[in-house]
């Protein structure tokens, strides 16, 4: 029997791909083989979409809301019951420290089902009474129905978490899904099929097709006319390609895309909190968090101290095997991504950056030599138009630049085509409330980073996304709404 982590999951059953092709899932820790993945062909994608459509009409579509939400909540227990399996699979695919995945990826991957079940259970429509010329009046009320078959295209940085962030609300709202996990991290999406079956999710509600983007499962899926809407997390350029296909048939999209997020550190910050928070926002998950900071602006009087403390923090990070308790930073996702990040490291030096720390590949011994390791890196001294300041790197690195006043730093923070997130560090509440609304980003944190209340709107401005998900904002995307107007 093949390992389910490398199999497609269609209509409640695991199967190899009709393409007849496989690809290797390689560990970014040491280059070893994690498993073999069966690439879905166009006919698999077609079968998955057809199964999803049939389930919409069948038991899932006709099930009472309370029963549906009971099943969605059971997924939380189902994942928790196999916590160690999900943890091991996520860690094997990504190389991230067990300490991180056990606190973030798997618990949030499960919790996403609970929060949206609760939100759907408590959600109510709107009603409006209106006068009419004849004096009898009319009443309007809204009704919702599932949007249909949702294509869910996922990235590799927080695989289970970012997948269930979309599948959770989609299923709670009564939709069916076809998931295309990243080719780098196929395992937990595939394993979730077993949990779906075990808690009684009807066949066809949740489907998984493996493969790549162009010319493969990703493109086949977003082009499929049986897909009603597309929810995607990934790079902005990929979003552009998907949107072109979504235009055929005028399908709705929800996009969570790339960023080049700033952090703003005012001289009146609590220095310990600002350093601790910025260390996390720059280096957590080896810098592979869409919300992560790559541009740090520090008010001049505290610039030198802040840079020195960040250097000290970065040099204290420990790269190593995920299971080692001392490990605080894992590898990048792949050697391809390592090449990209190291390209930026070289470019920074060529452009005359001061390398405060890092800039290369750590020597972790022969065993890890084939892993995708890079050093945590900090630069200063680059011009504002350097590619290091303008382009998303998605690695454990940042550039730190001094500023002199609020207007200047607001202009610098907004000087980007992206607009995902920003952290502002200040103990002056008036300043926090004054500056935050002026930053053109969807998610603004004051004296914190990645502090998530799942009821709040989440998403990016400008080229960082389209739409917002989270809380009732997810329901806007995953449901179709009608107004019923009754003349009295
Ligand atoms: P990516 O865009 O390369 O790939 C994402 C997914 O899209 C993968 O499953 C891939 O196979 C698929 N894909 C690629 N081309 C496609 C096509 N033409 N049609 C259909 N599917 C296609 O992104 P990635 O490298 O996996 O993830 C890193 C990127 O994701 C970064 O830019 C990061 O900022 C972004 N991201 C954003 C958020 C957010 O919430 N805004 C969250 C996580 C990651
Ligand atoms: O916390 C979330 O809900 C979320 N979507 C996080 C995204 C992180 C990006 O890497």
pLDDT in tens, 263-294: 999 999 999 999 999 999 999 999 999 999 99
Pocket around ligand 1: residues whose beta carbon is below 6 Å from it? 153-157, 162, 180, 182-183, 212-214, 218-219, 222, 233-235, 238, 241-242, 256-259, 290, 392, 394, 420, 460, 464-465
What is the Cα–Cα distance from 276 to 313, expressed in whole angstroms? 8
Query: Whose C-alpha lies nearest to ligand 2, atom 9?
Result: 290
| DSSP H helical ranges for 215-290 | 217-223, 236-246, 271-283
Mutual orientation of helices 159-172 and 83-94 as an angle, nearest 10°? 130
Query: Whose C-alpha lies nearest to ligand 2, atom 7?
Result: 290
Q: Clarify whether 398 is annotated catalytic.
A: no
Q: What is the dihedral of CA 107, 115, 186, 282, to 10 degrees?
A: -60
Do 327 and 99 touch, CB atoms closer than 8 A?
Answer: yes
Nearest to 47 by CA among 21, 4, 14: 14
pLDDT at 2: 76
pLDDT at 1: 56
pLDDT at 143: 96
**Average pLDDT for the chain:** 98
Considering every ligand atom shown, identify the ligand nearest to the alpha carbon of residue 105 and give its number: 2
pLDDT at 36: 98
Domains, the chain, ordered by start: 4-257+464-487 (3.40.605.10), 261-453 (3.40.309.10)
Helical (H) or strand (E) element with 107: helix 105-122
Q: Clarify whether 256 is annotated catalytic.
A: yes
Mutual orientation of helices 159-172 and 65-81 as an angle, nearest 10°? 160
- List, for the chain, all residue ranges whose pLDDT scores fall below the cut of 50: none
pLDDT at 128: 98
pLDDT in tens, 370-403: 999 999 999 999 999 999 999 999 999 999 999 9
| DSSP H helical ranges for 378-428 | 387-390, 406-414
Q: Token digits for 62?
A: 């006709």
Q: Which of 116, 161, 261, 477 to mutate to test the pocket of ligand 2 (most atoms within 8 A of CB)?
A: 161
Q: Token digits for 143?
A: 């009704």
Nearest to 461 by CA among 214, 202, 236, 298: 236
Q: Is the dihedral of CA 316, 320, 324, 328 positive or negative?
A: positive
Do 281 and 397 touch, CB atoms closer than 8 A?
Answer: no
Does the beta carbon of 162 sit less than 6 angstroms from any atom of ligand 2? yes
Longest dimension (CA), the chain: 86
């Amino acid at each position: 029997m093949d390992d389910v982590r490398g199999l497609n999951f269609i209509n409640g059953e695991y199967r190899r791909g009709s393409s007849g092709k496989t690809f290797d899932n390689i560990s970014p820790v040491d280059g070893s083989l994690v498993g073999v993945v069966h690439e879905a062909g166009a006919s698999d994608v077609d079968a998955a979409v057809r199964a999803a459509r049939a389930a919409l009409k069948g038991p899932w579509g006709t099930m009472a809301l309370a029963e549906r939400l009971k099943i969605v909540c059971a997924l939380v227990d189902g994942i928790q019951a196999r916590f160690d399996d999900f943890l091991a699979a996520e860690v094997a695919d990504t190389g991230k420290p067990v300490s991180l995945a056990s606190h973030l990826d798997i618990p949030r991957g499960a919790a996403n089902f609970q929060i949206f079940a609760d939100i759907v259970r408590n959600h109510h429509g709107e009603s409006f009474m209106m006068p009419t010329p004849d004096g009898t009046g009319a009443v309007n009320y809204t009704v919702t129905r599932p949007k249909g078959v949702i294509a869910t295209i996922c990235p590799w940085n927080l695989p289970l978490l970012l997948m269930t962030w979309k599948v959770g609300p989609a299923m709670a709202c009564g939709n069916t899904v076809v998931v295309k996990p990243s080719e780098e991290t196929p395992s937990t999406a595939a394993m979730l099929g077993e949990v779906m079956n075990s808690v009684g999710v009807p066949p066809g509600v949740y489907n998984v097709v493996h493969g790549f983007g162009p010319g493969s499962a990703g493109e086949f899926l977003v082009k499929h006319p049986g897909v009603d809407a597309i929810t995607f997390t990934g790079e902005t350029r990929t979003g552009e390609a998907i949107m072109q296909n979504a235009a055929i048939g005028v399908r709705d999209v929800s996009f969570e895309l790339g960023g080049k997020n700033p952090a703003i550190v005012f001289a009146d910050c609590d220095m310990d909190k600002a350093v601790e928070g910025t260390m996390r926002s720059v280096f957590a998950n080896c810098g592979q968090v869409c919300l992560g900071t790559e541009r740090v602006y520090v008010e001049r009087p505290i610039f030198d101290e802040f840079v020195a403390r960040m250097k000290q923090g970065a040099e204290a990070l420990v790269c190593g095997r995920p299971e080692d308790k001392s490990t605080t930073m894992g590898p990048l996702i792949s050697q391809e991504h390592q090449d990209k990040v190291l390209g930026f490291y070289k470019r920074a030096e060529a452009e005359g950056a001061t390398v405060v720390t890092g800039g290369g590949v750590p020597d972790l011994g022969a065993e890890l030599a084939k892993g995708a390791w890079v050093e945590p890196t900090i630069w200063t001294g680059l011009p504002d138009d350097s590619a290091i300041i303008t382009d998303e790197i998605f690695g454990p690195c940042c550039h730190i630049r001094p500023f002199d006043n609020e207007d200047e730093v607001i202009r610098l923070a907004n000087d980007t085509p992206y607009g995902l997130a920003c952290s502002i560090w200040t103990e002056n509440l008036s300043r926090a409330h004054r500056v935050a609304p002026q930053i053109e980003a969807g998610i603004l944190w004051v004296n914190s980073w990645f502090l998530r209340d799942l009821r709040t709107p989440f998403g990016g401005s400008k080229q960082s996304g389209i739409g917002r998900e989270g809380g009732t904002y997810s329901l806007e995307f995953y449901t179709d709404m009608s107004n019923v107007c009754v003349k009295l």
